[in-house]
Structure 1
């Protein structure tokens, strides 16, 4: 038995989405970057995708179920999918949460705790603004929260992130800072920032007894895979429903 992990970042209404323009991020940490337009999905497409999962009786996995699958030989339903979001931008609250809650779906959000704002800001569809800790806690009936670093979500070049050039001690301390936030409900689960990692990062996660870690490589996850190198399929803005169905049936 295998399962597919879906990776989302941002959601926008179709008329407000500009596929030719990346979105500047606004976070608490002193860090600037642009979120590529391919990491957005339209609200209309997201609703259609979730409706399809519901109508086809897909089981939305929880992280404890995935850990039991890898470490206790537990079975999962034939139609199983893990829904994940990275970075916790405003659309998580305004768009994703209501749709997921409507279908009683489970989902995971990977949190950069150093990015979370102290106070909520007005919804701005022209920027990717992080939510607050309190806003995320209010969505705890749908979302589990896992480690996406505290302030190591920094890209140095297209193939290198901060964790890859930091010492084991520095990376370890950052992981601990993220997990120290009481928001994090799954402290043994990690997602590599930008999907980038090296052998030293994997070894450190294993040493610190992380149970699951997710890349952004496309594909399905089988029981034989390294649970610290699980695949997640990015759902881009241009993906139509037939392609979405193909991913689930791969």
Structure 2
């Protein structure tokens, strides 16, 4: 991680020269700002974990055995190329005024099933030219690449609306049948709070202080269903979700 106050804002050339090239050749990298991940097996939402942008190293995989096509399906969606399979060539000036192609940049957007419109998640994929990379041919399985994934405002708004809908439609478990031990009301209220908290935490909408407070409430036998601490925390999360929904509607108006 970066020290407090520092922001990771590399240029395209920085990403290729100081990160991708060093990773491919097994050289030491500065800090853990670019992580290794199998980008094409997990949906971007899971990779970002609430962040607006993140950087990953990954190796392209074949869509099937002995195939020269790259597998770009991730979860319930697919990354679609907005450039050619090879990508846009990026030239670098060298001594004598000549320019050589050092890397290729491919731009992709994430689509669910056969949906025409993007989900709002986009990605830049950087790959070294075959002259500078020891791996396989350009844009083919086995190539080592650096991916920059980010979510646009559309993705942020859609996520807020979806979480709000989940919170509004949640209901406590049904009343147990005769002969089944009934869960006390205080326990049900705590379970509701825990469910809401975990849903909000997945989207980075909670604080560490709230998490510590929740742990204390969960283990306190004196806290019942009518305890103001539980009611206040539930109300806080619902209001926070309502605020995000208002942001979503304002952005569309």
Query: Whose radius of gyration is greater, 1 or 2?
Result: 2
- Would you say same fold, with TM above 0.5? no
Q: Tell me the TM-score normalized by structure 1.
A: 0.24
The structure, 1 or 2, with the larger RCO (C-alpha pairs under 8 Å, 6+ apart) is 1
